Amino acid sequence: MSIIKELGINSSRTARNLPWHKNKGFELTYAYSGEFIWEIRNETEIQWLRLCGGDLGLTPPEVTHRGYDSLIGPGELLYIVFDLESDGAETCTGMTSEELTEFNRLWKKIDKGTVSIDSRTRSYCVDLAVLLKDSGRSKTILFIQHEMRLLILQILIGSLSCFMNPQKQDESSPIKRACLFMEEHINKNLKIDQIADSSGLGKTRFYELFLKEKGLPPGDYFNQLRCQRACALLRETEKSITEIAFDCSYSSSQYFSSCIRKYTGCSPTEYREKHRLNYGSF
């Protein structure tokens, strides 16, 4: 498809590099799992976008952006860069030139940001990820490419609907209650049973719903919250590494160091030295 400029999956269990860049087309991202933070640069300031498991993110054309501090954290992310004004854009889309023009006009009305994905569009993203992983091994590559084109169009149409009609978050939902409980007890060594109890659900049902909504297990989500809190303390205080590890309920400074390295790509000491004069949001 001529409208697709880049397509792929970023998947890693540790932080990896993503330096400043910009695209000619729109960049649509879907977080299967983990949490991703983009730095968006404009003429006067740096803005941040946070993309959690189950969220869609959009960066418009020619907008300079990168992962936080040129890194993206562990997790799995689908990305699609598309240009609806490229030569022969209507090829293989099934749209007339008038329909494609209107489709492009609607996308241009959307600013950078994130939104929760609906269940139907999520299923298209999951199916596309499976095809991307299998395409190099399959003997029926022609049919896979045809199926990919259909899925990409369904994702673009579904994603546009998600951004134009964002779902309102239910502040009283069991998963929201659990997330707030974790944020309020960030300095505790919480167990899954305690987190599940805060939601009002049984442990098994809670785990299933949390994984579906957030794209990662509740334990991993809590670990990310602790890491974010620890990084803020490293940037903004003079506390020792051991004190910060204790404040964020890590069992040892060694385990704390391994977690910080996993999510930031450097040790706590290295992170502090890099960010001591930069107290921006994590």
pLDDT in tens, 37-55: 889 988 778 888 888 777 8
pLDDT value at residue 281 = 38
Residue 1: how many CB atoms within 10 A of its CB? 17
pLDDT in tens, 122-172: 999 989 988 888 765 554 566 778 888 999 999 999 999 999 998 765 556
Residues in the chain, pLDDT under 50: 139, 278-282
Report long-range pairs for 4-8 (Cβ below 8 Å, ≥24 apart). Answer: 4/80, 4/81, 4/82, 4/152, 5/81, 5/82, 5/83, 5/86, 6/79, 6/80, 6/81, 7/79, 7/80, 7/81, 7/132, 7/152, 8/78, 8/79, 8/132
Q: Retrieve residue 225's tokens.
A: 């919250």
Tokens 């944020």 appear where? 183
75-82 and 55-59 as β-strands: parallel, antiparallel, unpaired?
A: unpaired
pLDDT value at residue 40 = 92
Taken in order of first residue, the domains within the chain and their CATH numbers are 4-164 (2.60.120.10), 174-275 (1.10.10.60)
Residue 279: how many CB atoms within 10 A of its CB? 9
Nearest-CA neighbor of 82 among 19, 145, 152?
152
Q: What percent of the chain has pLDDT over 90?
A: 39
